[in-house]
Chain A
Amino acid sequence: MQPKDFGFGEDEKLLRDSARKFLEDALPIDKLRTLVAPDHVEAYESDTQPVYYDESIWKQIVELGWTTLAVPEEAGGAGMKMVAVASLAEEAGRAALPSPLISTLVSTCVLREAKSDGASAALGRIAAGEAATMAMTNATGSWEADDTDVVAEGAGDGVKLSGTACFVQDARKASFFVVAARGDAGVGLYCVDADAPGVEILPDQIVDLTRDQARVRFDGVAVGADAVAATAGSGADAIRAATPAMLVIIAADLCGAAEWQLQTTAEYARVRTQFDHPLGFFQAVKHPIVNMMIDIDRARSLVYGAACDIDTGEGNPQLSARMAKSAAADAAAFACGRSVQLHGGIGFTWECDLHIYFKRQKHNQALYGDAIYQRAKIGELL
């Protein structure tokens, strides 16, 4: 029997509430705007796009232990439940937090599934405060676990990695990459320091201001045996096994940000007056805002249901997590469109905060497979 409350008890609530409080204090909306959208020319016309991120906030986050949450206790982490991780990701989304937190949590979930000495060592590094990110996506942006363009040559005591991983999240914030690379026996997972010889980070010019993204080129990068997290052939399985957790984390981030979009738009509809009435008086405004809420609540419920499936090992996490991601991506898409449209002219400007969330949402919608992709996968399971 699954817990009726998703296993979301006092401990989880305390953690979530303290995370919300911390982010409200550390990164209020004015500070976020100054941090990630200081100047449109700098953001979008620099030869190399800046990384907008406050390292002091990140250091505090690490000290608060957020990055160790998903690390098992035996690897030096807190070993918290997925429902707790989801609630944290939700708060990160609500604050549109620019940080490698999500990337590190996702990498943690993959390493957890790899179950090897190398993976344990990497989890230990995360527990000690290092940021990690997955380098697993190919040039076409495929989210299939074994579609990598990076090749691993050799075996036994170590391998050499060559090729380029694309769409690597927070590449310029992470201290190491978890690289999916194909060898003769299949895809393995290899931990590579961001500053290792032969690693070149080629930053993308992206829309989202709360992240950085890059292609990472590996030119004969030597990986020692102790840095092999999953041997050739078992890496794709680890990614597949971790997929529900990855999807839950992103879906939770989407829900948190969508809730911010909802509350911000509802507030505007309460205070902005036209035709002698607050905007919310008009049903053409009121009803879409309510629809935003309905979509968010559906997605949020599915997120916690899927997280609980992962925690209990019951149910079907591959199904429920894809449902959560699909619902969250659709809720976010709708919230994006309506938040800008219902704000009218001001919503279309750089000075309004909405675009920061709009862009993060668009980015997250696509990450690890958009809604249509998830539904195609679900269709195969029904």
Chain B
Amino acid sequence: MAKKDTPEQAEFREYCRNWLKDNKPGPPPSRLPELAIEVSDEAHREYLCAWQKKCYEAGLVACDYPSEYGGGGHQGFQRIASQELSRAGTPFLINVIGLGMAAPTILHHGTEEQKRQYLKPLFSADEIWCQGFSEPGAGSDLASAQTSAVRDGDNWILNGHKVWTSLATFAKWMILLARHSKEDKYKGLTYFIAPIEGAKGVTVRPLIKITGGTGFNEVLFEDVVISDDMRLDEVGKGWTVAMTTLTHERGAAEGAGGGGGGGVDDRIESLIALAKKTPRGSGTAWDDPVIRDRIVQIAIRAAGLRQTARRGRVEGLIDHPMRLPLQGKVVMTELMQDAAAIGLEIEGAAGSLYVRDDNAPDEGEWPLSYLNSYGMTIAAGTSEIQRNILGERVLGMAKSK
């Protein structure tokens, strides 16, 4: 059965709705990127941090975390707050890595002191978090991470190179997977909280994407000294802790709420609008049955995504608990990629015109989002890794390793 609101939840939903109606923020200083993880502009950061703080103070963030760590102390309220944030179409919450990945990991594996120190400023966006998992030599094969952590009395000395770190330019902290031992691929890993902003030996450099823009970074650690109380869980437990983080990764994408970048349905609408206004032959691209068929295929996939989100909460229509949740990322990102590809094709020659060209249809959005779409199908587990996971965990096929 779909979850129905309890009386308390219904009351909270009403409260969220009213609050969002009365507190809708003004427009951003300039157009926001599609996703929180792409924020790289200081004015955007200020605007978005102020918004998250306001939401936190109103009780719409961290609703289900214990109150002693700065949460709302409720149960089953975050789902409602996230739904209402999304429905209100307000900007996304910027501390998406913190909320979606760092906070649940700290809650699950952190000491009492760590929970008291890190969670509240994370919720309020006073401290932004980033994630240090991937390395130049450790992409899909995450456990081959080589960034080293060497014990030195009560301290650890970090050396290494992390890549694809979204939000690192603004981050106070990073959740970090590092290697304390080379003896065992998995048991040689330990999980830390690493300081970023202003830390000695830490260099954050923007990485330039194929779009020409930035949005993520690389982070270099050179003899960075951190104290042992910044270790999360036991030495050698890094892989286990990382699995907790990755389990919540999808939540990071969905649970943060907000409608800053517009969703799949907006994308389909603009695709149809593009086809209807783009001349082709004696009519428009929409009149071309081949193009129209391809757009309708995309529209069907988008409708399927919507109905699958609905079905995912109907117990009687689910065969395996992880079957639909684990599809979410690959289905969504490939859909957005294919939609952008068709948009670009519809534009024909005009698809060559990029964002700075005054004649570019839709301000060059289609070539830009097509280029950008590869970030989504690669980041957070490539589509190939996602299919491995689905085949292994849901269909029980042998691990491809």
Interface residues of A (CB under 8 A from B): 3-6, 8-10, 12-13, 16, 259, 262, 266, 269-270, 277-278, 280-283, 285-287, 289-291, 293-294, 297-302, 304-305, 320, 323, 326-327, 372, 375-376, 378-379, 382
User: How distant is B389 from chain A, measured CB to nearest CB, in Å?
Assistant: 9
CB of A16 within 8 A of CB of B400, answer no
Q: Apart from A4-B313, A300-B317, list 13 A-B contacts with CB within 8 A.
A: A9-B1, A12-B316, A270-B397, A283-B388, A286-B400, A287-B387, A289-B397, A301-B304, A302-B303, A304-B311, A372-B293, A379-B292, A382-B296
Contact of B323 among A293, A302, A382 (CB under 8 A): A293
Contact of A6 among B272, B317, B397 (CB under 8 A): B317
Given A286-B391, A378-B299, decide whether A302 and B307 contact each other with a Cβ distance below 8 A: yes
Closest residue to B301 on the A side, CB-wise?
A298
CA–CA, A200 to B175, complex, Å?
76
CB of B311 within 8 A of CB of A290, answer no
Contact of B293 among A3, A6, A286, A375 (CB under 8 A): A375
CA–CA, A183 to B310, complex, Å?
45
Within 344-401 of B, Cβ neighbours of A (below 8 Å) are at 384, 387-388, 390-392, 394-400
Given A16-B316, A286-B387, A290-B395, decide whether A6 and B303 contact each other with a Cβ distance below 8 A: no
**Using an 8 Å CB-CB cutoff, how does the interface string of B19-60 with A read, 1 for contact, 0 for none?**
000000000000000000000000000000000000000000
Q: Please name all residues of chain B whose beta carbon is closer than 8 Å to the beta carbon of A301 when the two chains form the complex.
A: 304, 307-308, 310-311
Contact of A379 among B296, B319, B388 (CB under 8 A): B296
CA–CA, A327 to B308, complex, Å?
13
Given A8-B317, A293-B394, A382-B272, decide whether A286 and B388 contact each other with a Cβ distance below 8 A: yes
User: How distant is B101 from chain A, measured CB to nearest CB, in Å?
Assistant: 25
The 4 A-B residue pairs whose C-beta atoms are closest, nearest first, are A280-B397, A298-B304, A301-B307, A4-B2
User: How distant is A329 from chain B, measured CB to nearest CB, in Å?
Assistant: 11
What would be 24 A-B contacts, judged by CB atoms less than 8 Å apart?
Answer: A4-B3, A5-B1, A12-B316, A270-B398, A278-B397, A280-B397, A281-B400, A283-B388, A286-B392, A287-B387, A290-B390, A293-B394, A294-B330, A297-B324, A297-B327, A298-B300, A302-B304, A304-B307, A305-B307, A305-B310, A375-B297, A379-B289, A379-B293, A382-B272
Within 267-303 of B, Cβ neighbours of A (below 8 Å) are at 272, 289, 292-293, 295-297, 299-301, 303
Q: Does B107 contact A (CB under 8 A)?
A: no
CB of B387 within 8 A of CB of A326, answer no
Q: Please name all residues of chain B whose beta carbon is closer than 8 Å to the beta carbon of A285 when the two chains form the complex.
A: 397
Q: At the interface, is chain A mostly helix, strand, loop or mixed? A: helix
Q: Does B210 contact A (CB under 8 A)?
A: no
Interface residues of B (CB under 8 A from A): 1-3, 272, 289, 292-293, 295-297, 299-301, 303-308, 310-311, 313-314, 316-317, 319, 323-324, 327, 330-331, 384, 387-388, 390-392, 394-400
Q: At the interface, is chain B mostly helix, strand, loop or mixed? A: helix
CB of A290 within 8 A of CB of B391, answer yes
CB of B396 within 8 A of CB of A270, answer yes
User: How distant is B276 from chain A, measured CB to nearest CB, in Å?
Assistant: 10
CB of A3 within 8 A of CB of B2, answer yes
Contact of A327 among B293, B300, B319, B399 (CB under 8 A): B300
CB of B397 within 8 A of CB of A269, answer yes
User: How distant is B80 from chain A, measured CB to nearest CB, in Å?
Assistant: 13
Contact of B300 among A259, A269, A326, A372 (CB under 8 A): A326
Q: Please name all residues of chain A whose beta carbon is closer than 8 Å to the beta carbon of B304 when the two chains form the complex.
A: 297-299, 301-302, 323, 327
CA–CA, A6 to B2, complex, Å?
9
CA–CA, A379 to B331, complex, Å?
23
CB of A281 within 8 A of CB of B397, answer yes
CA–CA, A340 to B323, complex, Å?
23
CA–CA, A326 to B289, complex, Å?
16
Q: Please name all residues of chain B whose beta carbon is closer than 8 Å to the beta carbon of A5 when the two chains form the complex.
A: 1-2, 313-314, 316
User: How distant is A272 from chain B, measured CB to nearest CB, in Å?
Assistant: 11
Residue among A10, A270, A382 facing the most chain B CB atoms (10 A cut-off):
A382
CA–CA, A12 to B396, complex, Å?
29
CB of B2 within 8 A of CB of A300, answer no
CA–CA, A141 to B324, complex, Å?
37
CA–CA, A301 to B317, complex, Å?
9
Closest residue to B269 on the A side, CB-wise?
A382
Q: Please name all residues of chain A whose beta carbon is closer than 8 Å to the beta carbon of B297 when the two chains form the complex.
A: 326, 375
CB of A287 within 8 A of CB of B384, answer yes
